[in-house]
Amino acid sequence: MLIALYERIKASRGILGYAQVSILCDELELDVEALMIELLPVAAKFALPPISKFYVGAIALERTSANSGNLYFGANLEFSDQALGLVVHAEQSAINNAWLNGAKQIDLIAITDAPCGHCRQFMNEMHNADALSINLPHKRTSLRRLLPEDFGPKDLDNHESLFQSTKQALSFSMTISDALCETVCRSYAPYTGNYCAVELETNKGRFVGGYIENAAYNPSLSPLQSALSQIQMSGYKLEEISITNITLVEQEGKKNQLGVVKAVISSLGYEIAIKEVTAYGL
């Protein structure tokens, strides 16, 4: 059954909708939180950790009722030939998956292992961080218990938060796809103001990633990390993908992502001219 679920989740790019979740809960006679724990091995199956060999899975829940909701899967992603700072952690992957696919908030996250400090800080950027529950295979806890005396958006006088930020009104120096336009306008960049996103055209379809910043800066997720994580959550290894075109959109006067894109793409063996598009505030 887990193999069949893996294939189903892979086909939907790492998502189980609330209707499917309700059916599974009924079939297995589990509540949604217990179901998430049972599905953690499926989430970990998406992990690509060539450096650590440590497979981590995470599942984020957006509740739609008391015992159902949308489940967004995530797993850790590592790059053999790049700085460790470019690793995508499983919790980041699941939250990124939810955010890119229109979730309004994350009510609970289940993880195969206790979150590291990096991930606790990343989760702290969400508007409901004070109420966020974290379920591990052996215990239930909360972000506040794991991150006391936190440092967050308000400490930098930022009154926005992840999942509750203002959608930007932007124009562009050239025509881009609707998906890329939407992701740029929804990107979360309250500290640098570089509202940006990237679109990768591949032999397996198009994948879009957006920028998610963090008050502590280091846990920020670059647009390229966001997009590559989406490829991973579609069940593809990076070596199975052929990237044919890359479009990077960045804010006028704020650009800071081109170097990251060039370095990672080069390390993956590509020599691709990156199409640079400038976004202008209206």
Catalytically active residues are 91
Angle of helix 32-44 relative to helix 18-28, nearest 10 degrees, comes to: 100
How far, in whole angstroms, is CA 277 from its chain's centroid? Answer: 23
| One-letter amino acid for residue 74 of the chain | G
- DSSP string for residues in 84-148: GGGPBPHHHHHHHHHHHTT-S---EEEESSPPPHHHHHHHTTBTTGGG-EEEETTEEEEHHHHS-
Q: What are 209's strand-pairing partners?
A: 198
Q: How many CA atoms lie within 13 A of 78 on its CB side?
A: 12
